[in-house]
Structure 1
Amino acid sequence: MQRRTVLAALGASLATGMGRAFAQSYPGAPVKMIVPYAAGGGIDAVARLMAQGLGEALRQSFVVDNRAGAGGMLGAEAASKAAPDGYTVLFAGNPELTIAPSLHGKAPYAPLSDFIPIMLVSQSPNLLVANASLGAKTLRAALEAARKAPGGITIGTPGNGTPQHIAVELLRSQLGMDIVHVPYKGAAPATVAALGGEVSFALVGAPPLLSHLQSGKLVALAVTQPKRSPLVPDVPTLGEALGLMRDDDFVAWYGLLVPARTPAEVVQQLEKSAAAVLQRPETRAKLVALGTDLVAMPGRQFAERMRLETKQYGDIIKRFAIKAT
């Protein structure tokens, strides 16, 4: 019995020593950062900013690998099946991490158990905007003007099953108004539709809207989150704009994760390095320029947010029978 105890203690000591040695030498080779969307989008821009920062902090290349497809699930699945050694990380958003499992019935991965959250980096406010030609400066006035116009109240979003689509369904229920959801294939086409008058409103993330808000072609009427966004502090929340009792949190967020069973020492090193990158003033300034608000939420709180949001979206998807297509 004593011999077994000694051997067990020796084994634990060796494992701890090897773990520390591995962490000290990590990363000893380039790290692949999987982004489950095509290059050039909002999440890709934030991912590349973080890849550059982490590469500088850890003195090793972080190479972005865009794996677009299946609404973000293709890349997330690839990351979930990667070796848990710290040399594959995932930079993903809430569509594939908190919405997909409920929306598709069963995703090819389990976000809450197949990944270890490292850092929730930033979030982009979703803005409800209208074409300036509608002649309304407040949401209530815009809704009334659209209701009387040919075509009625139509809201374009980046697609079925997106956070914006879910927000539209909840808004229709809260207001009891005849609102038609018009799905597009991305935020850019939905923005163009609002500019061209195809829809009376668009509900999309901030990045493709900012230049049109500055030019005055589009008017921002509300953000779909509990507090105003520092990015557009003059834009009220839906609750403020409509006098609702509560504001639900429908934002697009971006975070860094690793496959489950990645060594704790590597997880800690990545979290520490990501926090250092986000503390840099130049990183914060670049995030603002990209149309996203700094969050810098550590792994433990990030995991809890994923858990709570998964339930929130799951309940709404079931309640309104929302489908992906």
Structure 2
Amino acid sequence: MAERSGGNPCIGTTSGGSRYTSSASLPRHSTNLDDFGPSIPAAFRQIVRGRAAEPAVSGEDWLARLPGQVAELAGAWGLVADGPVWHGVCAVVIPCHRDGQPVVLKVSWPHEEARLEHLALQAWGGDGAVRLLAADPPRWAMLLEPLLHDRNLDSTGLLEACETIGGLMRRLDRSATPQFTRLSDEIERWIPLCRNGSPLVPRRLTEQAAATLGDLRDGCDGRLIHQDLHFQNVLAAEREPWLAIDPKPLSGEWAFAVAPVLWNRWDEAAAATNLRTHLRLRVGLVCDAAGLDEDRAMAWSFVRLVTNAIWEAQEPQPGQAELSQWIAAAKAMTA
């Protein structure tokens, strides 16, 4: 189940509520990036085409500009395409060579969550995360080290995957600089969301979430966090076993960032004999590896699950299965 963003740029993972994942690759069209247009995957065009501007350019207009931007980036950075084009829900990823060395060009549709991605990667300096080689913020583009895009933490046992994510959180921990949105500021918008609630989400959960947000407000800022550090956003690499990718940076606390391990690999949670025990085990493993307060991580996870349920309920046609999953997971986080 993919986290719902409901138009919120910080608690969701991508505009439209879908997480970033690499799709099946397509044959490359040409090594000459001056001729990139035909290589834009049709599935990616379909995902982006109908998006409203957030805030600068609509999906349709951005797709029209994308081939020219890729050509300009290839010229500026000396890139030659060298592999199939991959994509997520907000970016195309193009394997390339520069001066004979393999690199990856990532170009994102302009949206708030990606605005400071390059600054987070720069701060981490390749320690626990993919290494940033160059950035062009006006074009929403980055040049990255190549990773093994077809091997993520979905390929490992769940317990090992949770421990790996916790270990990465410990390594990525840094003081946040003032450019990043503060978690405490976002709380002020989420409290009324929870107080207003939805007829489709139990009132006791939305009221508890609003109260919990008030309790969590103090002391929740100051660390540079990757708020979407789930199993598919950790890839295998040659220089290290695992590295984080695709940060959604925030000035907050790492306990807030535990929640994505709950709603990813959901089939395994649904098959568990006891959902509450299963999900709480995930939280405990991550917190133990990361050195986090487990109670605070469960409180934040509860809030994020409830807000996702509210955003799902606000969709024109809410997904009943997803709504039930959000609510069930939220209940598992309650005392």
Report the TM-score when normalising by structure 2. 0.28
TM-score under structure 1 length normalisation: 0.28
Question: Quick check: which has more Rg, 1 or 2?
Answer: 1
Which is bigger in relative contact order (C-alpha 8 A, separation at least 6)? 1
